[in-house]
Amino acid sequence: MSLLVVGSVAFDAIETPFGKVDRTLGGAASYFALAASHFVPVRMVAIVGQDFTDEHRAVFKGRKIDLTGLETAAGRSFFWSGRYSQNMNERTTLATELNVFADFKPALPPGYLDSQHIFLGNIDPGLQRSVLHQVNGRPRIVGLDTMNYWIEGSNEQLRETLKYVDILTINDDETRQLTGEHNLLRASRHVLELGPKILIVKRGEHGALMVHPKFIFSVPAFPLEEVHDPTGAGDTFAGGFMGFLAKAGNMSEQNLRRAMVYGSVLASFTVEQFGVERLAKVTRREINDRAHRFAKLTTFKL
Amino acid sequence: MSLLVVGSVAFDAIETPFGKVDRTLGGAASYFALAASHFVPVRMVAIVGQDFTDEHRAVFKGRKIDLTGLETAAGRSFFWSGRYSQNMNERTTLATELNVFADFKPALPPGYLDSQHIFLGNIDPGLQRSVLHQVNGRPRIVGLDTMNYWIEGSNEQLRETLKYVDILTINDDETRQLTGEHNLLRASRHVLELGPKILIVKRGEHGALMVHPKFIFSVPAFPLEEVHDPTGAGDTFAGGFMGFLAKAGNMSEQNLRRAMVYGSVLASFTVEQFGVERLAKVTRREINDRAHRFAKLTTFKL
């Protein structure tokens, strides 16, 4: 019941109204793996440069995160730098240096080929599909994240890849962009005609919406008094969601709803501090406590 | 257990990507009264001009809406005109003609003086307080709405009025503006130090958040495939919320949570068509059906 994730491992430089950090561990696969590893063993497929040392690897150690698929290539690791506005609703990318990530061709180690739960992080849709071709047989659950860059520039490739996807996780703008439909619910239903069985619309500080052919489920973001850095919240959500689901082993309605809650709970920890700092420290007990507070936040009886 | 509302009754001209209407019935008190009257008898205190005829009054007839306090003055009724952007997230006010509303001094008819449930719509905070001075004794539940105009221009008056308020309903920007605090949860807790026992933060298409000293409760906006005109959604929410609460007769946690749901449900009808068109037609059965669908939208078991 392990969970394979392919995506970026990077260094981030982040500036928010609450401070700044230089070259902290980042990348979608990092947040995803740390979150998902609370539920199931994670197999990572990513690429880093020679500047990525054992010290940086240390955050993954002692967890159920298999780094056999973390390739080290000649050159420097993916580097991203960004600055958030005063209200943190907008961010400006200051630098994107792909470095070794530019030539990333995900290659699964032999030990990963039996993976049944797979999350295809936000990379070229053709490469995402190549991961599915490598595994043996048909996986049980395939999740996928993408972004405006691929929706615009690799639309045909993306649409082909979406045919093999169970769960698509994108934000509201991307949902509209992918379908050309402004109304979010109509756009979401349209997405389900492209392949995915389930769409999760990530709405940042406004939570997330799951659209399934038979039901719709909405979760808020957990209200926090301290939000210091939103970076990685969506990737953490995806990790918590997919991790819970892989552990549950099926996509029953009840499990899908629970997975949404655990995804939101994990993401709420990430944003409390910079980078993966808080996420790397969170305990299973804190996760469960917050999940129960989350239930209190949304529960009512008619 | 009747519910008194003071506020605007107006004519609106509205343009959205889905069409336009000229001089349709509008104003906060209109939406509020139509929504609340599904739960309790409503007593309206407002002012209109001589252009407001029996034909316009007709929408309130046959409902539990007492118009004794609807004053007709020489001149024209309040007129507002606005245009929504393509995605309906922004609106431009094209015209605001206060007309008779400029000299509005709410005067309660004798039959209203025993009111125990009161909603002070968005008018001058001094006038809001004058309504509380007119009623006999101390009301059981007082709700209040306000806006940036009063927060900026009549801050001291508003703060004095807030001391007498149980439930404040404002949006997220107004919550931040009122407290000078950006973090919404911290800002909300700050608001509770100004007098209100409960704050409801209205977040438009993202739902609403209730902040109580002992709990926080979040509701999404009901996802809809047709949103034609957002005008009056917040006032409808307040009407459904206060109407349910006045009927329940107390502010128990369970009733406050339910009231949030019914407020959201009523508002979801309003936005489906222009002005009060849909709200004026909605049946109690439709309200209950949608409340149950709302429960399905948010329910999970850990």
Which residues of chain A carry a pLDDT beneath 50?
Answer: none
ipTM of the complex: 0.94
Q: For A136-154, how does the pLDDT look when each residue is reduced to its tens digit (9 = 90+)?
A: 999 999 999 999 999 999 9
What is the pLDDT at residue B174? 97
Closest Cα to residue A200, out of A173, A172, A233, A223? Answer: A172
pLDDT score at B138: 93
What's the half-sphere exposure (Cβ side, CA atoms, 13 Å) at A156? 0
Give pLDDT, residue A268. 98
Q: What is the mean pLDDT of residues B256-273?
A: 98
What distance in Å separates the CA atoms of residue A51 and residue A141, rounded to the nearest whole number?
34
- pTM of the complete model: 0.96
A-interface mutation test, from B202, B206, B300, B301, most A Cβ less than 10 A away: B300
pLDDT at B87: 83
Of residues A182, A206, A216, nearest to B206 (C-beta): A206
For B198-251, write each residue's pLDDT tens digit.
Answer: 999 999 999 999 999 999 999 999 999 999 999 999 999 999 999 999 999 999
Closest approach of A254 to chain B, Cα-based (Å): 7
pLDDT > 90? residue B89: no
B85: Cα within 13 Å, side-chain hemisphere: 7
Q: B3-84+91-298: which CATH architecture? A: 3-Layer(aba) Sandwich (3.40)
Q: Evaluate whether A178 touches A211 at the Cβ level (below 8 Å).
A: no
Q: Which chain B residues are Cβ-neighbours of A253 within 8 angstroms?
A: none
Nearest residue in chain B measured CA to CA from A291 = B302
pLDDT at B259 > cutoff 90: yes
Residue B188 has pLDDT above 90, yes or no: yes
How many Cβ pairs closer than 8 A exist between chain A and B? Answer: 90
Homologous superfamily in CATH for domain A3-298: Ribokinase (3.40.1190.20)
Q: Give me the residue from A87, A184, A298 closest to B223, CB to CB.
A: A184
> What confidence score (pLDDT) does residue A87 get?
83
Distance from CA of B88 to the nearest CA of A (A): 10
Give the mean pLDDT of B68-75: 97
- In tens, the pLDDT along B133-187 reads 999 999 999 999 999 999 999 999 999 999 999 999 999 999 999 999 999 999 9
